[in-house]
Amino acid sequence: MNNNPIGVFDSGVGGLSVFSQLIRLMPNENYIYYGDTINLPYGDKSKEELVEITGKIFDFFKSRGVKAVVMACNTTSATTYDILKTKYSFKIYPIVQTVAKEIALKNYNRIGVFATNATINSHAYKREVRKYNLRTEVFETACPKWVSIVENQLQNDPESINDIKTQLDLMLTNKPDKIILGCTHYPYLINVLSHYAGTDLFINPAKSFAENIYKDLKEQELISDNQNNKIEFLVSSNPDQFISASKLFYDVREAKEIDLSRLTVNYNL
């Protein structure tokens, strides 16, 4: 069981911000990273579509005998985790729920969240933070253009910079103590963001999320010590763009295209 792979997924390269932290803490695991680039951006999809997509990915991971699945995607954690969490026997780690709990316990007064439309519309960050701490006020802002800015590496384009600055200015009117980068793509934009506000203002949740996963797998004695571990990168379309956009967080040398659409989904919506 310990040497069974860990499945990690996102709509594209964003989840690599989490993956790079996982590999740092657990270098001997077998990993399957799935970037669902054909369905990108997840943030503009409905909850029903996201449940169907995530179910197919979970079914695929199940067919590969994973011991755990890391939802390195805020959008699917926010919208599908509660529906799918009881349908599989492997461990499931959702980013939003894990990060929100940690933030809540830090007792900030005012927290900002930048995320995709679907994450913001679900109000999952607000709900999860307030489960543990009713004192913390949560201000949520959707940044729908940022995922394609990252996937297409347009972060230095004047139009992109203008959009990033506009959303940041809007958020700063709430006077947040910290701003969560609540989409795994957004840490790629930290250079632009910290040009207009202190780097310390922003929380990239990838590191603490990975630490939580490591702690839990260790407690359950599920860590692998396999020296010949294997890492697979699979994408549903356009491996070349995935490889090229991966450079900032984890330099993917090769990725194989795979179509999960033929898998049957065995749950009811």
Nearer Cβ to ligand DGL (10/140) = 10
Give me the sign of the Cα torsion angle 247, 253, 254, 260.
Answer: negative
User: In the beta sheet, which residues pair with residue 234?
Assistant: 34, 256
Nearer Cβ to ligand DGL (38/231) = 38
Nearer Cβ to ligand DGL (11/246) = 11
| Catalytically annotated residue among 99, 171, 183, 206 | 183
Other CB atoms within a 10 A radius of the CB of residue 165 amount to 15
* Alpha helices for the chain (secondary structure H): 16-25, 47-63, 74-84, 95-104, 117-122, 124-132, 146-151, 158-172, 190-196, 206-219, 239-245
- List of residues 6+ apart from 182 with CB closer than 8 A: 74, 96, 99, 113, 114, 115, 119, 125, 205
- Determine the residue type at 54: T
Q: Would you state the structure tokens that stand for residue 95, as one six-digit string?
A: 């980013």
Which residue ranges make up the site for ligand DGL (CB under 6 A)?
A: 10-11, 14, 40-43, 73-75, 116, 119, 147, 183-185
What's the closest the beta carbon of residue 221 comes to ligand DGL, in angstroms? 30
| Catalytically annotated residue among 13, 23, 73, 252 | 73
Nearer Cβ to ligand DGL (18/222) = 18
For residue 143, indicate whether it is catalytic: no
Residue 138 DSSP SS3 = strand
Catalytic residues: 73, 183
